[in-house]
Amino acid sequence: MTPAEKLAFEKRRRGRNWALLAALIGLVVLFYFIATVRLMGG
């Protein structure tokens, strides 16, 4: 693997990691709001 290929691979992996982090944070926020609404009797 050339240095340029390795750099491109790491850049793609970082992008996937950030996307996964955003998805996980979105799920946490969604579950938090669902739990809050259920606890308030809505």
Q: Please, which pLDDT band fits residue 40 given cuts at 50, 70 and 90?
A: very high
Q: Domains in the chain: how many in total?
A: 1
Q: What is the pLDDT of residue 41?
A: 87
What value does the mean pLDDT take over residues 5-22?
A: 96
Mean pLDDT in residue range 11-21: 97
**Range of 41's domain?**
1-42
- CA torsion sign for 38, 40, 41, 42 is negative
The conformation of residue 42, written as its DSSP 8-state character, comes to: -
- Residues 25-36 pLDDT 10s: 999 999 999 999
Q: Which pairs with CB-CB distance under 8 Å and at least 24 residues apart come from 30-35?
A: none
For the CA atoms of 26, 27, 28, 29, what is the dihedral angle to 10 degrees?
50
Nearest residue to 22 via CA among 11, 34, 14: 14
